[in-house]
Amino acid sequence: MRYFETTLEPNGAQLTGFCYEPSVTLPESEAKPCVLVFPGGAYMHCVDKEADPIAMAYLARGFNAFILRYCVTGDRTPGCPQKPAEEVFSCALADAQSAIRYLRENAAKLHLDPNRIATVGFSAGANLSASLNLLTEDKANAMILGYGAYDDNLSIRDVKTEPLFDKIDQTTPPAFLFATQPDATVPCISTLRMAVQLVEAGVPCESHVFVSGDHGLALATHTTGDENPDAAKWLDMSVSFLSHVWSGENLLWGGLDRKKPDLDTRCDILAAHSQARALIADRFPDQVNLLNANPFFSYISFRRFASIMELDPAGVAAVEEGLRQLR
């Protein structure tokens, strides 16, 4: 196991990491999927119970885990740069971008898979996670959003964030969302609205609103307080979700049967299928190499790829017919 801390430009945010290292005694020594954790705290501080305990929980489930202590308005959390309220959101977003770039640029050294990075955010950290994945090009491969505030024209403790809903499109990473119905700090309707927007945009997502539990429940175990056995299920649900997204198992949009490729088959599967790849190369020679070269395209269906790239419908229809004949 490797532990490290590094300071990120441009604001001096602190990135903490817990990484598995290759070992002949470990059954799975390939590059690991990873989570990048954004604690909550209303952009005033980074709540400790939504930092290390979250990272440790994912670490125990086979992920490399990283915590970002980003810019906030207060000075209660060591490692978090302090900024005025009017600057905090843009600085925190820059911190998030720096963190995910650092992970991808140092993937080999950190023994992580740069195509399996999930951001995990809570409350204001969930807002930051969603903002990173909707407002910037530095998108993760999936996002886990816990009891977050996402409504347009949102102000969190005098910190003005940016509208999100109109930025959701087919390039938005798959999302797992959870909240609790009694939450009076951030009403669960925010999570429900986000889920509806994702579904309408065709983004793979899973959403849970638990009938009990307060805001800021973190793991919902004795480790983080607010013990709630039902709400605590969110963690393993999120791991299952990521497994489905990154393997494509049982997802209709993934088209996962390698022997029966179609337009809903994932791009990386088509790229590995010699006959299917040849069909696409014949119609779209300039785009075929993108199928498994881009971290996002690898995990979406060819149908979504064709829509995003605005491929010629006649060519797409020809590919579909060719794939049908392969089956």
CB of 302 within 8 A of CB of 263? yes
pLDDT value at position 252?
A: 41
Q: With 80 as the cut, is the pLDDT of residue 247 above it?
A: no
Which strands sit side by side in the sheet containing 175-180, from one edge to the other? Answer: 2-8, 13-19, 64-69, 32-38, 112-122, 142-146, 175-180, 205-210
Percent of the chain with pLDDT over 70: 92
Coil, strand or helix: which one is 81?
Answer: coil
pLDDT value at position 256?
A: 41
Coil, strand or helix: which one is 268?
Answer: helix
Instruction: State pTM to two decimals.
Output: 0.77
Q: How far, CA to CA in Å, does 143 sit from each of 21, 114, 197, 229, 262?
A: 24, 14, 15, 23, 27
* Residue 19, H or E segment: strand 13-19
Comparing 60-69, 96-105, 141-150, 267-276, which segment has the lowest mean pLDDT?
Answer: 267-276
Q: What is the mean pLDDT of residues 230-242?
A: 94
Q: What is the mean pLDDT of residues 159-175?
A: 90
Per the prediction, the chain carries an average pLDDT of: 89
pLDDT value at position 266?
A: 80
CB of 212 within 8 A of CB of 183? no
What is the Cα–Cα distance from 126 to 325, expressed in whole angstroms? 45
Q: With 60 as the cut, is the pLDDT of residue 251 above it?
A: no
Could you tell me the pLDDT band of residue 282, with boundaries at 50, 70 and 90?
very high
What is the Cα–Cα distance from 73 to 206, expressed in whole angstroms? 32
* Tokens encoding 219: 């793991």
Cis peptide before 10 (omega within 30 of 0): yes
Write the CB contacts of 158 (distance below 8 Å, at least 6 apart in sequence). Answer: 73, 85
CA 164 to chain CA centroid, nearest Å: 15
What is the Cα–Cα distance from 324 to 150, expressed in whole angstroms? 41
- Angle between helix 274-283 and 313-326 (nearest 10): 160
Q: With 90 as the cut, is the pLDDT of residue 65 above it?
A: yes
> Which CATH fold topology does 2-247 show?
Rossmann fold (3.40.50)
pLDDT in tens, 99-116: 999 999 999 999 999 989
Q: With 90 as the cut, is the pLDDT of residue 38 above it?
A: yes
pLDDT value at position 125?
A: 97
Q: What is the mean pLDDT of residues 217-234?
A: 92
pLDDT value at position 25?
A: 67
Q: Where are the domains of the chain?
A: 2-247, 252-326
